[in-house]
Chain A
Amino acid sequence: MTYSPSLADIPITPLGDSALIVKFGDSIQKDTHHKVRQLAEHLDRQPFNWMVEVVPTFTSVTIYYDTMKLLAESVKQGGDIQAESPFKLAAESVFQLLQTLRDVNASSARTVEIPVCYGGDFGPDLETVASRNGLTPQEVIDIHGSADYLVYMLGFAPGFAYLGGMSVRIATPRRETPRISIPAGTVGIAGDQTGVYPIDTPGGWQLIGKTPIELFKPQQMPPTLLQAGDIVRFYPITREQFESWEETVR
């Protein structure tokens, strides 16, 4: 079941009986990401009062709704509680919002710089990534540290950012045997993706280094260093810098 009035080029589909998905595209692209962010940011600023929360992902925005609030709202405006479909009511409101959002720009991106101590016991797979790509470890570091990465979405773990923009020159498949525990702050590569583990997690990524800064800060709001739409840059630091960084934080 899809709600798509004749005007709509953006399908709105149900996710069960208490959420709907606004889908802006079928592939991971910057253009789609901007539309996702535009809607998600608008809803963060001006939520519908029946909205529970909004979750932006690669190509879509999911809006969770409170059925009873939605109906109460509709009855207030003269609707018939027996006749209304909550999904349709929510989809109509979102559809109308989309018409007004067309010309609004998403806010300009923040740039977040993340220091990384590459190699050694922080990055036990740096050599593997280098040799599999016919590079030296230093070249891997240079390539990893020279790109602007776009945060498409957060997921998998609290504060984990799905980053786009890594050079295929350092792409490396996952390890055949995942590690049982990877410490928070570890930077890894899996296929053509790179990312930072925000909490201790098992995982199969190739580990190339570690950052001393926290990506998940549950005592703060927002609780994460990175947010969808941010630009991330990695830069190398020495072991000494890493350790003094941790000292200052403590």
Chain B
Amino acid sequence: MSLLIEKPGLLTTVQDLGRFGVQKYGVIVSGAMDAFALRIANLLVGNAEGEAGLEITLLGPVIRFERTTLISLCGGDLSPELNGVPIPLWRTVLAPKGSVLAFGPMKLGCRAYLAVGGGVDVPARMNSRSTYLRAGIGGYEGRALAVGDRLSLGEMTPQGSQILGLLAREASKETGAVSRWAVFPEMLPKYAANPIVQLIPGEEYELFQEQSQHDLWQEEFAVLPQSDRMGYRFKGRELQLNHSKEMISSAVTMGTVQVPPDGNPIILMADRQTTGGYPKIGQVASVDLPLLAQASLGARVRFQKVTLQEAQRQWIERETAIQTLREGLEQLETSYR
């Protein structure tokens, strides 16, 4: 009935798509850093896209499956192996009872998402199963996973059972089975070690010096070691306002690029505070948030200007592709003969 954590990895937490509706109480959203990857992983095992899965960071865990189940790994490539055999990302995998999932070196990206048929079944807190580490809330006992933790799984959906049936025909007890279907590579974000990230100019963009506006689009910005789930700190050309401005705290969101007085930009991520008072020079286009979520320490990021209209157009395109994938998976039984 469960997943057994034999080694926890560096930082493995239970996450869903986040805790919405309670930001007005000062409660942060949390959730998967690369929400796209978690959504796809869930769809591939027949789950609703917002089920809880595991966010695996840099150094992967060792996990034993105590029942036969479907799994999918999406997002960063941390060289996953099932019973010692490498398994591909962005596919459905049947993990036989007793099989062991382990990880190797980090190849591309730094966060892998594991979805399991039925989802990780931890109690929802304030409508979400996401782990809020600092307040010790949600996820598995409000903390990162540790050796010996045993996570229950929810019940598989009829669609998940159907996919399991399809894969079981060709599965072996030792290695399980990997789906022949996979996500179209064209619909994936352009993950890269040094990504180009689209930014919509922010509310205070015009208040920055002309040189700083220029530098934002022309220079590279390196991800600093102090970066985490709360935010990414960057080092590059310092970005300066024309005149210092007394700001009144207002809402901020994932991907908000704020610039404190030292001139080094911070991009707010999943565990950001709900409000902030630094000038906002830009806002990451939602379609490109996965690129940042997968950027490792030291990554050199370039920013590209995009209009709000274009960012929304790309978002609609991405969502339409996900919808197509969802429909394709629903028709798997008929198309997979």
Contacts and interface: CB of A to CB of B under 8 A. Distances in A.
Nearest to B138: A218
B96 to A, nearest CB: 37
24 contacts: A1-B308, A14-B200, A15-B203, A15-B251, A15-B252, A16-B256, A16-B311, A19-B253, A21-B250, A26-B248, A55-B23, A55-B24, A55-B251, A60-B251, A64-B253, A86-B312, A154-B274, A155-B249, A159-B25, A160-B26, A218-B137, A221-B126, A222-B22, A224-B25
Nearest to B320: A68
Given A53-B24, A67-B312, A62 B251 contact: yes
Interface string B213-255: 0000000000000000000000000000000000011111101
A156 B273 CA distance: 6
Interface of A: 1, 13-19, 21, 26-28, 40, 52-60, 62, 64, 67-68, 71, 85-87, 153-160, 162, 198-199, 216, 218-219, 221-224, 227-228
Contacts of B200: 14, 16-17
A156 B249 CA distance: 10
A233 B22 CA distance: 24
Given A15-B256, A55-B23, A199-B135, A67 B251 contact: no
Interface in B22-36: 22-28
Contacts of A21: 203, 250-251
Size bin of chain B's contact surface: 35 or more
B250 A156 contact: no
A41 to B, nearest CB: 11
A62 B274 CA distance: 11
B181 interface: no
A121 B251 CA distance: 35
B131 interface: no
B266 interface: no
